[in-house]
Amino acid sequence: MKISVKGPARDLAAFFLLGARRRRHFRRATSAPPAAGAMNRLAEKLHPGRLELAVESVRFETPDTRTFRLTRHGGGELPYFRAGQYLSLKPDIAGNRITRPYSITSLPENALDPGFYEITIRKRDGGFFTGHVWETWEAGSRIESSGPLGWFGYEPLRDAKNLVFLAGGCGITPFKPMAADILGSFPDVTILLLYGITDRGSIIFKDDLSAIEEAYPARFRVVYVDSGPAASGCDDRRVFETGFIDRRIIARYVSSPRDATFYVCGPPAMHRLVESEVGSFGLAPGRIRREAAGDTIDVAAEPGYPAEKHGRQYRLTVHSAGGICTIPARAAESVLQSLERAGLAPPSECRSGECGYCRSKLLSGKIYGINNHHGRRMADAGFGYFHPCSSYPLSDLEISVPVDPFVRRT
Ligand code: FES
């Protein structure tokens, strides 16, 4: 649009005529859909709904943790991303189509040249998905995935210049690329990583973190916080504390917590502990950034969950794709898990209540929503919408779920 200034009187007259001119343009406009322009093509390239990936190689990080290097099936660049983002993988396991979010552990520039992402997965005892990965993923395996997603990244306009990363176990995964990328891009930023571990012999990314410390000795420091039986001290030049990441340990290394931005990623129990400890410093809103990292493993441990409901089973009446059916739903599982088991899952990406892709409507019944990351908009909550990935049935439910546009239905 051309904008020119012609003086107060003529500009005022032009302003009053704006509405009439706009209505004239609307009358003349064609009703045909616009052709996909350059911006649409760029948006699709940067934010594809789906990616077809292939495993290029696999390497061990620890005995129970592997890093998978993924390339675009058929070759070529991958969408650029921001360090801290994740991929939502879409495996079909024994007829169940599920989703699992995993942080990208390679650097953003690796997506362009030579064109790969890496994800790092720790095997869980009895884990439905990780068991499948361990048995079937090898070089050449094909994997469907979302494009890069999530908001767990550094924002120079929003965040402080002193960053404190609080990681627990495999919650370290987003922090490795974030540390390297932020330190390389912002010379005035310093980062302290407090890394909760349980076994000093099995630390994910130990050597990578040491390499980043050596590259930025004045700006990056790693302190391991060991809740296993070993005593505190230094080992191989690495600093160890004993116990859990709490206010005492944070205060020992962060001289002015109110001048820092804290990032938290780890298991739910660590989120609960760390957020109350960090919150006790009286930080300004927005100074704690969280990555919830997928399903809640034990809803009974969540604050306010009615323990007497835990072992129950309910009926879920589901309106989907123009039909209605009734399926069983366990109180201990999220509504999304019950829908996936029945092949009725709505689209989902984060599995922790944040992205909103699984947004569905609660027509009747009662649910428990995970407080920390039940990320509904206020209007959604008011009009009965909920996120099945972070909601658990407390009674029989009747719900309406959207159809995943990427799932072919027969
Ligand atoms: S999958 Fe992200 S909010 Fe449910």
Could you give the ipTM of this predicted complex?
0.99
- Phi then psi dihedrals of residue 258, to 5 deg: -70, -15
Answer whether 66 contacts ligand 1 (Cβ < 6 A). Answer: no
The number of the ligand 1 atom at minimal distance from the alpha carbon of 353 is: 3
The number of the ligand 1 atom at minimal distance from the alpha carbon of 351 is: 1
Does 144 fall in a domain? Answer: yes
Ligand 1 center–CA 339 separation, angstroms: 13
Q: How confident is the model at residue 314 (pLDDT cuts 50, 70, 90)?
A: very high
Ligand 1 center–CA 352 separation, angstroms: 6
| Residues of the domain holding 227 | 162-290
Q: Is the dihedral of CA 30, 35, 38, 44 positive or negative?
A: positive
Domain identity same for 140 and 172: no
Domain identity same for 167 and 145: no
| Highest mean pLDDT: which range of 44-53, 138-147, 197-206 | 138-147
What digits encode the pLDDT tens for the residues 232-254?
555 666 778 999 999 999 999 99
Domain identity same for 192 and 286: yes
pLDDT for residue 43: 87
Domain identity same for 311 and 237: no
Alpha helices in 4-154 (DSSP H): 8-28, 38-46, 128-136
Give Cα separations from 310 to 221, 230, 298, 366 (angstroms): 42, 35, 10, 14
Identify the three-state secondary structure at position 314: strand
Ligand 1 center–CA 388 separation, angstroms: 7
Q: How confident is the model at residue 29 (pLDDT cuts 50, 70, 90)?
A: confident
Q: Which of 244, 137, 154 minimizes the C-alpha distance to 197?
A: 244
Q: Is the dihedral of CA 294, 300, 304, 305 positive or negative?
A: positive
Q: How confident is the model at residue 374 (pLDDT cuts 50, 70, 90)?
A: low
Does 132 fall in a domain? Answer: yes
What digits encode the pLDDT tens for the residues 354-363?
899 999 999 9
Ligand 1 center–CA 367 separation, angstroms: 16
- The structural domain count of the chain equals 3
Ligand 1 center–CA 267 separation, angstroms: 17
Identify the three-state secondary structure at position 338: helix
What distance in Å separates the CA atoms of residue 364 and residue 225, rounded to the nearest whole number? 46
pLDDT for residue 40: 85
Answer whether 387 contacts ligand 1 (Cβ < 6 A). Answer: yes
Answer whether 193 contacts ligand 1 (Cβ < 6 A). Answer: no
Ligand 1 center–CA 58 separation, angstroms: 29
Average pLDDT, the chain: 89
Structure tokens at 51: 């990616």
Write out the H or E segment, with its range, that includes residue 58. Answer: strand 51-62
Q: Is the model's pTM score more than 0.90?
A: no
The number of the ligand 1 atom at minimal distance from the alpha carbon of 356 is: 3
Answer whether 350 contacts ligand 1 (Cβ < 6 A). Answer: yes
Pairing of strands 367-369, 391-393: antiparallel
Domain identity same for 281 and 206: yes
Identify the three-state secondary structure at position 271: helix
For a mutational test of ligand 1's pocket, the pick from 291, 357, 361, i.e. the residue with the most ligand atoms closer than 8 A to its C-beta, is: 357
Among 149, 178, 206, identify where a domain stops: 149
Answer whether 391 contacts ligand 1 (Cβ < 6 A). Answer: no
pLDDT of residue 255 exceeding 70: yes
Among 119, 149, 179, identify where a domain stops: 149
In this prediction, residues 96-103 reach a mean pLDDT of: 91
pLDDT for residue 203: 94
